[in-house]
Amino acid sequence: MRILVSNDDGYRAEGLQHLVDALRPLAELTVVAPDRNRSGASNSLTLDVPLRVSEYGERMYFVNGTPTDCVHLAISGLFGQEQDQDMVVSGINDGANLGDDVLYSGTVAAAVEGRFLGLPAIAISLVLRDGRHFDTAARVASELLLRLARTPLHASMILNVNVPDLPYERLRGFKSTRLGYRHRSEPVVRASDPRGRPVYWVGPPGGGDDAGEGTDFHAVAAGYVSVTPLQVDLTRHTALADVDEWLRGRGE
């Protein structure tokens, strides 16, 4: 199996190295990651400046762009036709990607770009507490990869995986979950630059709001690995009839 590995924390990230070490015995890896931390980049593409690719190891590269740039380049011609990939694995993210985090996450975006370009994809994140058990998340990634190799899921599916920050032996198992929702984020943090001019930091994310049983928040809090199947289609299909009726009465 040939796997493209990327992330959003940058090519020097601890989580990326753990992931590469865990998957290297199982597959032929190509790593294409951002040159620096691009957390929160979502699905953005760099269109206003050229992208540069640098090699830092065998089949390992970094790009002065976003996670989506990295995956797009790697699949769409960076290596010509000789390095077609079978799957995209993104991570291990240094922190959770639960609930509405997936809309902002560069880790999830890298997986989504793989799916846009026709490949099955996994995004894996470590829900950090105090332990930084990246080894646990890496072992989970390798187990899921082996399971997918034995029993493939539908190629349109993206798996968003969140791993509790625990020793592997303390995990309670795996759960299929849905995305929960966070409370509204905290207010922006105002500060001053060295010249006294105001600057602002985006405030911390809110805690789980819709975090009951069946959600990714609930599973991780209970010590389970959360595996959420995602889809690219954002259409609210159940509302199509209502919107159609609303449009028919638009002149009223």
Identify the pLDDT of residue 127.
95
- Predicted confidence (pLDDT) per residue in 135-156, tens digit: 999 999 999 999 988 898 887 8
73 three-state secondary structure: helix
Element (H, E) at 83: none
Q: CA–CA separation, 111 vs 158, rounded Å? A: 7
Provide the residue ranges of all domains of the chain, joining segments of one domain with +. Answer: 2-181+208-248
Identify the pLDDT of residue 7.
97
Q: CA–CA separation, 164 vs 184, rounded Å? A: 23
Inter-CA distances, 133 with 15, 29, 138, Å: 9, 22, 9
Identify the pLDDT of residue 74.
93
Q: Which two tokens stand for residue 216?
A: 């990714």
- Placement of tokens 């390992």 in the chain: 60
Identify the pLDDT of residue 153.
86
Q: Are 152 and 71 in contact (CB under 8 A)?
A: no
Q: CA–CA separation, 179 vs 104, rounded Å? A: 14
Identify the pLDDT of residue 206.
60
Identify the pLDDT of residue 251.
52
Average pLDDT, 10 consecutive residues per value, the chain (252 residues): 94 96 95 93 90 93 95 88 82 92 93 90 93 95 92 88 96 93 70 87 64 87 95 90 87 56
Q: Are 174 and 227 in contact (CB under 8 A)?
A: yes
DSSP per-residue string spanning 196-220: S-EEEEPPPPP-EEE-STTBHHHHH
229 three-state secondary structure: strand
- Placement of tokens 């099955």 in the chain: 120
Element (H, E) at 114: helix 106-116
Written out in words, the top-level CATH class of the domain with range 2-181+208-248 is: alpha beta
